[in-house]
Amino acid sequence: MKPEQLKKPDSLPLLLLVEDSQTTTALLSKYLGGSYHLLHATDGVIAWQLLERNPDIAVVITDIQMPNMTGHQLLVKIRRSDDDRHKNLPVIVMTTAEDNVDRNLAFLNGANDFINKPIDEMEMVARVNVHYRLASTIRELEASKKALAKQATTDSLTKLKNRRAFFEKGAIALVMARRYVSDLSVILLDIDYFKKINDTYGHQAGDEAIITVAQILNRMAHAEDTVARIGGEEFTLLLPDTNRLGAAVLAERIRVAIEREQFIFGDKIVPITVSIGIASFGVDPSESIDQLLGVADNRLYLAKNGGRNRICVNDDGKATFA
């Protein structure tokens, strides 16, 4: 049997009713249909299909005794799901059983609430409303928590990771590189003559230059890399599984891409270049991610001292090239 949709008022919360009795289905549709948009399944198999297709389902009401997949089996599947939206769903269980066996098993399997048949309208409506509001509040708190966590690790201007996020990810990456004897490199770059851009064209031009560089870095980095803005015009790339040669190749590609970028502010073409320092785990001192970044910073200074618009991979400056 195909999943059945009983009502479809778009503004109402979505509720999944899992029940093979037409009588009970009709009653609950009458009791809850004015406040909820009901989806109906006659067994757990169909219910699971509906759950996977409808991420907005807010509450599940399920019978216990059903063909194909019972309410207990559905509960277990929901609570063992890898998807948080499933395993945290409020589930209300219905049964005609007079003993406590089904009730206790339902709670052990993760039911939030339990109601006996025949269903009392006021009791059912009250319980559904309570669990819906509670779940909604929890979801809002979780969303707010995630938003705050993202805000705490995101640079507001460029939307890249910020300094805090770079050091957190860098510390983990360094531990993994040591544990698995793998490569890890850091690229540190700085926009050349950035103060001159601000003084000549204004701070808005400076901000747009920073955003342009950030977009280029994001575009050129690999999915596993971390791109961060760690200072005013300073950016860094954390490159797991990348040795010094690989980092140098990427750094040179970045340098060339930024040099060739047509940055236009107002009616003026404003040239942008960057100087880049590189440090690599296993080659350079790297007791901490801060120390590794310090090595890259020294080489960034050599690149700037050597004429800017170039990369540096070695402390003697001989490997500095444009």
Instruction: Out of 19, 98, 123, 233, pick the active-site residue.
Output: 233
The secondary element (H helix, E strand) that includes residue 17 is strand 14-18
Torsion sign across C-alpha atoms 178, 179, 180, 185: negative
CA atoms within 13 A on the CB side of 14: 14
Q: Which two tokens stand for residue 318?
A: 């001989």
Written in H, E and C, the secondary structure of 92-129 is EEEECCCCCHHHHHHHHCCCCEEEECCCCHHHHHHHHH
Alpha carbon separation from 210 to 111, 230, 264 (Å, rounded): 52, 12, 13
Catalytic residue check, 252: no
SS (H, E, C) 125-136: HHHHHHHHHHHH
Alpha carbon of 244 to those of 29, 296, 316: distances in Å?
66, 11, 15
Q: Answer yes or no: are the C-beta atoms of 259 and 308 closer than 8 Å.
A: no
Active site residues: 233
